[in-house]
Structure 1
Amino acid sequence: MKMMKRLGSVLVVVLLLAACTTTLRVASDFDKEGNFKSYKTYNFYDKGLEKLAVNGLDKKRMMAAVDAEMLAKGFTKADKPDLFVNLIVVKRERTDVYANGFGGPWGWRGGWGWGWGPGWGGGMYNVDRYEEGTFIIDFLDPKTKMHVWHGRGSGFNLDNFKNREERIAVGVKEILAQYPPQSN
């Protein structure tokens, strides 16, 4: 019986950790009157790149990922493009607390105070603090100077450096998968 409880506790911890692995939550919006078939060329919006709040390595990775996706969609990079691509990263502090469910034979005893024996064990908690980022990719029409498409992916752990290049590429791909928009 004790073994089943422990296995159950371990299973709960594994499921909680699996459920809490960060995946991007993507969404997009667009100009309902935009003619997206007319856009064939792109380039990055220089003023936006100057303000991009990430390190130089991540800026390079994001630009390379956007280049790869735009080329895959049939776009050509040009000096005088049909679309400007503006990149933005918004950061916020995130704290996740996980209860592992492991208690011991100690803890608060109803009406009897602290002690040993069966009761409500204290358990242990893991606290994970990190910066969470939201990647925003905007498409701007240089002729009208207006936004025509806005995509974002939120939930990127900016403090995790493991497989960072691949994670950025996958994140950009997930965001740009929503372009061109499907009109109703």
Structure 2
Amino acid sequence: MKTFKTLLMIFTVVFALTGCSSLRTASDYDKNVDFSTYKTYNFYDKGIERVRLNNLDKRRLMAAVEAEMNAKGFVKADKPSMLVNLVVVGREKTDVYNSGFGGWGWGGGWGWRGGWGGWGWGGGPTYVNQYIEGTIIIDFLDPDKKILFWHGRGSGFNLDNLNKREERLYTGVREILAQYPPNALAAK
């Protein structure tokens, strides 16, 4: 029975952690812009300088954006028709998980202020997971008009987790840029 409790507790914690690891994406754009005029890109240097990541992750993030832009048919150029600005914002996050697996004992049952309880939810150990949750922002700027014309973001990236970090960056960028160009989404 103790093994069953341990396995159930581990399953619950893993399930809770994986359920919270998905990236939440959104985008916004200027509806008056003709997106077909943008064929080339490069990075906005001033924005890249301010990205709050270590140099290894900064290069990974830029490589992920380049791979996705190239896959969409854009060409990196010295005099691009659009600039890619990257921003990474982090905030402290605390998740509290209860295994939810109780046992026989007083409380939580029937009657006024508890009573005799049975197997059920409540009780069991509580786990606390503290980490930095990141938001990756990708903006497209028109260097000639000096305007922002597309904004995409992905929230929920665990910046403290080093496990498969490069793969998660690529996946996150792919999910964010799946919303570009917006006209392609409207056509579907």
Paired AA for residue 45 in structure 1: Y
**Alignment partners' CA distance in 2, 1:143 and 1:137:** 19
Paired AA for residue 24 in structure 1: L
Return the TM-score normalized by structure 1.
0.84
CA distance 1:51–1:18, change in 2 (3 Å): closer
Return the TM-score normalized by structure 2.
0.82
CA distance 1:81–1:13, change in 2 (3 Å): same
The answer for the alignment partner of 1:63 in structure 2 is 62
Paired AA for residue 94 in structure 2: T
CA distance 1:157–1:19, change in 2 (3 Å): closer
For 1:68-87, what aligned pairs fall within 5 Å after superposition? Answer: 68-87=67-86
1:146 and 2:144 are equivalent in the alignment: no
Contact 2:13 2:97 in 1 (8 A): no
Contact 2:98 2:123 in 1 (8 A): no
Paired AA for residue 151 in structure 1: G
**Alignment partners' CA distance in 1, 2:157 and 2:43:** 22
> RMSD of the TM alignment (CA)?
3.0
1:158 and 2:172 are equivalent in the alignment: no
- Structure 1: runs of 5+ lacking an equivalent: 111-117
Quote the offset at 1:109 in angstroms.
9.0
**Alignment partners' CA distance in 2, 1:62 and 1:109:** 49
Q: Percent identity?
A: 57
1:179 and 2:180 are equivalent in the alignment: yes
Deviation string 1:65-110 (CA, Å, 9 cap, x unpaired) is 0000110111110011000000000100010001102335566699
Report how many aligned residue pairs link the two structures: 176
Contact 2:23 2:157 in 1 (8 A): yes
- Structure 2: runs of 5+ lacking an equivalent: 110-115
